[in-house]
Structure 1
Amino acid sequence: MSKELDELRREYAENEAKLQQYQHRAKRLEQRRQYYEKGERQKRAHRLITRGAAVESVAPEVRPMSEQGFYSLAERIFSMPEVRAAVRDAAQREGE
């Protein structure tokens, strides 16, 4: 009977160790996922800032505009057929 109990205790200890290993692995994977998501957000923020700066550089008149006014202007510009065609062409050239 004592041998059975010792065996069960040993199995329990082994399983506890495995559980801790799996929990640690899951925590590392979660941290890695968060790191990559944060990196993607940072890349997006950098891209948006850079492109916004490029717009202000090319058209400094937009600097004092409100956000609503700027979006309205952007919608008007990007709804023009010649602008849509130019954007589509530029995107296709970038993709090649």
Structure 2
Amino acid sequence: MAKQKTISELQAEIADNERQLAQLQHKQQQLENRRSYYEKGDRRKRAHHLITRGAAIESVAPLTKVLTETEFYSFAEKAFALPEVKGLLMEAVNEHNKNEFGGD
């Protein structure tokens, strides 16, 4: 037959379990903070990427600064639909891939 625990033993066991629970909750919070940090970093990188691309467009085509967002999107859609622009973009992507992946 199993020995019955005394009240002080049960209280010590409760205290130990509460300490372990607090440690696990702290560890969970650390992991959630780390995940949030990395997700924020990805968003910051993307925002930086978009800002620098937008700045590049404004530097080579300063007139785009006067367009509203809707007007700019309309312009960009029309410009990138032109066969000449599609061809230039494809050349740039192919050159990038060649340099990136060491193709001939």
Name whichever of 22-31 and 80-89 sits farther off.
Answer: 80-89
Distance of 2:35 and 2:29 partners within structure 1:
10
Partner of 1:82: 84
Moved over 6 A (4+): none
Distance of 1:10 and 1:93 partners within structure 2:
69
Task: Please list every run of 5 or more consecutive structure 1 residues that lacks an aligned counterpart in the other structure.
Answer: none
Letter aligned with residue 48 of structure 1: L
- When the two chains are superposed, the root-mean-square deviation of aligned CA atoms in Å is 1.9
Count of matched residue positions in the alignment of Structure 1 and Structure 2: 96
Identity rate, percent = 51
Q: TM-score, normalised by structure 1?
A: 0.86
Partner of 2:51: 49
Asked if 1:40 corresponds to 2:62, the answer is no
Partner of 1:4: 6
Q: TM-score, normalised by structure 2?
A: 0.80
Task: Please list every run of 5 or more consecutive structure 2 residues that lacks an aligned counterpart in the other structure.
Answer: none
- Give, in angstroms, the shift of residue 80 of structure 1: 2.1
Partner of 1:63: 65
